[in-house]
């Protein structure tokens, strides 16, 4: 005998039950959407961080590289200065004492570069901070890069440009820029195989610093750098 109750369909859920089920489903959907949104924001932040970090490392390790990559319709072709591996040593100063010196070879450049077109920066490779040379006195002769007293601190420095034959031609400070050692012009073409002599109170070699040569020749950006 057939059970009469088996043919009777189950009663639909009450309106209150349907409402609670709908609210629970909507709550779960909102949670899924919020988690997805958070993951998207985190991924975007990570991507932005990677881009910023990459640009930061490029700029601090090779100052001017972004400038060199500029739109050539606005700037002329980039001029790259090739600097060789520095060698560290010491100098006996005519005014007494000893100075540290980093000899940086100026191997060459893709186009001729004059001193009046470039400036020099000593910088922290990690964060790009520039090491200033406040009130430093650059005292050199044609044969002695330290013809006075040595700089009083490792963070005080000046530069001497030596010709390929070893004759000191110009000095450089951030305040005075390029100055001739024994009269003559301050704006001279830098010959291939010249040397940049970085004179300081203590050696900057292996301390996370670098030397950069930057500037413009007409509309062409100039850049070259190397870690000390």
For residue 2, is it within any domain? no
For residue 46, is it within any domain? no
Overall pTM surpassing 0.85 (yes/no)? no
Per-residue tokens: 211 = 């030397």
100-109, 131-140, 178-187 — which is least confidently predicted? Answer: 131-140
Alpha-carbon Rg for the chain, nearest whole angstrom, is 33
**Residue 216, beta-bridge partner list:** 221
For residue 7, is it within any domain? no
Residue 148 contacts residue 181 (beta carbons within 8 Å):
no
For residue 17, is it within any domain? no
pLDDT at 55 over 60: no
d(CA 212, CA 138): 19
Reference 85, options 215, 208, 225, 213; nearest CA is 225
For residue 44, is it within any domain? no
d(CA 153, CA 121): 17
- Work out the average pLDDT over 60-68: 44
pLDDT at 2 over 70: no
Domain that holds residue 145: 65-227
For residue 162, is it within any domain? yes
For residue 60, is it within any domain? no
Give the pLDDT of residue 38.
55
pLDDT band at 97 (very low <50, low <70, confident <90, very high): confident
- Work out the average pLDDT over 163-176: 93
- Work out the average pLDDT over 163-179: 93
Per-residue tokens: 219 = 């509309």
Q: How many domains does the chain have?
A: 1
Give the pLDDT of residue 39.
56
For residue 140, is it within any domain? yes
d(CA 103, CA 194): 10
- Work out the average pLDDT over 199-204: 90
pLDDT band at 24 (very low <50, low <70, confident <90, very high): low
Reference 146, options 90, 192, 202; nearest CA is 90
- Work out the average pLDDT over 13-35: 60
Give the pLDDT of residue 52.
41
């Amino acid at each position: 005998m057939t059970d009469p109750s088996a043919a009777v369909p189950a009663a639909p859920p009450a309106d209150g039950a349907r409402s609670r089920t709908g609210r629970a489903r909507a709550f779960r959907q909102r949670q899924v959407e919020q988690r997805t949104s958070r993951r998207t924001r985190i991924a975007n932040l990570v991507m932005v961080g990677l881009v910023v970090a990459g640009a930061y490392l490029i700029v601090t390790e090779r100052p001017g590289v972004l400038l060199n990559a500029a739109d050539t319709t606005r700037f002329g072709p980039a001029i790259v200065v090739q600097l060789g591996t520095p060698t560290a040593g010491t100098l006996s100063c005519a005014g007494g004492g000893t100075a540290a010196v980093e000899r940086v070879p100026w191997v060459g450049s893709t186009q001729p570069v004059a001193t009046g077109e470039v400036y020099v920066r000593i910088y922290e490779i990690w964060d790009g901070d520039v090491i200033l040379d406040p009130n430093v006195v650059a005292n050199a002769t044609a044969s002695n890069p330290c013809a006075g007293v040595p700089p009083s601190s490792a963070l005080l420095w000046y530069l001497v440009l030596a010709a390929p034959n070893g004759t000191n031609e110009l000095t450089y400070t951030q305040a005075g820029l390029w100055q001739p050692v024994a009269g003559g012009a301050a704006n001279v073409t830098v010959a291939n195989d010249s040397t940049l002599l970085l004179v300081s109170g203590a050696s900057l070699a292996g301390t996370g610093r670098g030397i950069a040569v930057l500037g413009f020749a007409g509309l062409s950006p100039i850049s070259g750098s190397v870690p000390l």
